Amino acid sequence: MGTSMLPSKCPGYNIYVDGFQALRRPEALQGSNITHVVSAIDWKFPQGWAPLRGFQHLRIPLDDVYDSNILEYFPRSNAFIHEGLNYWSRASPNNARESGVLVHCAMGVSRSATIVVAYLMWVSRQPRSIQQPQTTSQSHSETSTSSGPSTDADTEDATPEMVSLPPSPLTVEAALALLREARPQVEPNSGFMKQLRMYEAMGCPTTQEQLESHKTYRRWMNSRNIMDALSSNRAPEMADISFRDEEDDDGGDDLKPDIGEKVTNLSLASTDAEITDPDISSSSVPEAGSLPRAEVELKCRKCRRLIAKSNFVVPHKPPPHRDPSVDNSTEPCAHIFLHPLSWMRETLAQGGLDGRLSCPNPKCGANIGKFAWQGLRCSCGGWVTPGFGIARSKVDEARPTKRGTGAGAGNTARGGNAIRLPPGMRKMGGNGNL
């Protein structure tokens, strides 16, 4: 049989990629020692469908659209593919044949490529001695076979197996380039590419629990839920709002801050309302509305209550072609945009799509800004969505003062123990005693 009739084989792996038509050539699949089939397509296969007889089968029901959540299937598809690649060697250690896996979607371009790239990244991060899943009872995933034992993609039982691995962990781009050597037309859609980069940034979690408990994944899912609410002109549920200061206190996220930000913010300014990142640039030049990279504290100008630290600021950029009606001066933006913070909880719990933000000091309550879930337009012309804007005129920006080191930068009117002195009084003595 001509090689043109065979699915594309990923170099170095018995993983084959093709479109739906590959299932109409079961003899060709069996001739390539394929034992497992992953169907990344939202189509209900008939029970006992003839082309799948004799194959272990995992169905991943999703459409090839940018907002489909393909990431949630990676732990199951990785385990299933890994099981398939070692199917014969595990069942019969003396069997020299190597089993293979077919991953297909409709055209063999986007969904199937995404599943394979995720596996290549994941397996490249595993130790040399990889724990192989045992063949057990049917899992809760849509896995089936018409002959032989069924494969549980989520099983925890394992036996050690030695495999050949890349010399270093693969990036999204490296894994995609490897697959394109065999199938140049593969092209995950933009949403799938973002999810692959998110998966890479998270370290390619192995289990469903590791994935769903990861802070980055939780933030992303919350963002998706917020998007759904806003598309219906509703305020988000409180359970879906991530208060960043509370999350940063719980630890457990070893992502670099800039990587974490790139997958958690909503932008409704684009025509397709996709999840984007307002601080995608890694330039050392401060962006519009941003604070200097050194740590800065925002304090209420009226009562000096701490409002936010600079790590909770959402940088943004002015549009490339500004509206002539917008002030094009080089003055700082009128608002500093923040992530949702815990002191906003009471205000957001009222369920409004927009409103004002007040100083969290109950004895002050000064109006310090505003919020709008559907976005705020900055004085520079840029949109931040959702927008939590603090008026720059209502806060002071100051360097934090370390305890016990005397007056800090921007606090020259304080004594050695950070005591505010009356006007006209000066610090006396080397130890700061009054």
The reported pLDDT for the residue numbered 256 is 39
Phi and psi (nearest 5°) for 391? -65, 125
Percentage of residues in the chain with pLDDT exceeding 90? 53
Task: Give CA–CA dist 361/339, Å, rounded.
Answer: 19
Give the model's confidence band at 330: pLDDT under 50 very low, under 70 low, under 90 confident, else very high: low
The reported pLDDT for the residue numbered 158 is 35
The reported pLDDT for the residue numbered 165 is 54
Cis peptide before 386 (omega within 30 of 0): yes
Residue ranges, comma separated, of all CATH 3.90.190.10 domains in the chain are 8-127+169-213
The reported pLDDT for the residue numbered 92 is 56
Catalytic residue among 105, 204, 300, 333: 105
Strands (DSSP E) found in 272-334: 297-300, 306-309
Query: Which is higher by pLDDT, 96 or 78?
Result: 78
Helix (H, G, I), strand (E, B) or coil at 221: helix
Tell me the two tokens of residue 57.
């089968």
Q: Which of 238, 172, 239, 248 is nearest to 215 (CA)?
A: 248
Task: Give CA–CA dist 380/30, Å, rounded.
Answer: 61
Task: Give CA–CA dist 197/255, Å, rounded.
Answer: 12
Sign of the dihedral through C-alpha 138, 139, 142, 148: negative
Tell me the two tokens of residue 242.
């991530």
Residue ranges, comma separated, of all CATH 2.170.150 domains in the chain are 243-249+294-319+332-400
pTM of the model: 0.69
Q: Is 105 a catalytic residue?
A: yes
Q: What share of the chain is helix, strand, coil (3-state, %, to 5)?
A: 30, 20, 55
Most confident of 162-166, 240-244, 327-331, 370-374: 370-374
- Average pLDDT on 237-244 reads 92
Give the model's confidence band at 282: pLDDT under 50 very low, under 70 low, under 90 confident, else very high: very low
- Average pLDDT on 30-43 reads 92
Contact by Cβ (8 Å): 281, 239? no
Contact by Cβ (8 Å): 52, 102? no
Give the model's confidence band at 276: pLDDT under 50 very low, under 70 low, under 90 confident, else very high: very low
Task: Give CA–CA dist 112/115, Å, rounded.
Answer: 5
Task: Give CA–CA dist 378/46, Å, rounded.
Answer: 54
Burial class (CB in 10 A: 0-12, 13-18, 19+), 155: middle
Would you state the CATH architecture of domain 243-249+294-319+332-400? Beta Complex (2.170)
Q: What does DSSP say about strands 34-39 and 56-59: parallel, antiparallel, or unpaired?
A: parallel
Query: Which is higher by pLDDT, 182 or 155?
Result: 182
DSSP secondary structure string for all residues of 142-177: EEEESSSPPP-TT---EEEEE----SSPPPHHHHHH
Name which of 80-89, 108-117, 308-317 the model is least confident about.
80-89
The partner residues of 414 in beta bridges, in order of sequence, read 420
Those residues whose C-beta lies under 8 Å from the C-beta of residue 237, and which sit 6 or more positions away, are 225, 229
Query: Which is higher by pLDDT, 421 or 41?
Result: 41
* pLDDT per residue as tens digits for the range 26-36: 888 888 899 99
Name which of 111-115, 283-287, 382-386 the model is least confident about.
283-287
First-residue to last-residue Cα distance in the chain? 94
- CATH class, range 8-127+169-213: alpha beta
Give the model's confidence band at 10: pLDDT under 50 very low, under 70 low, under 90 confident, else very high: very high
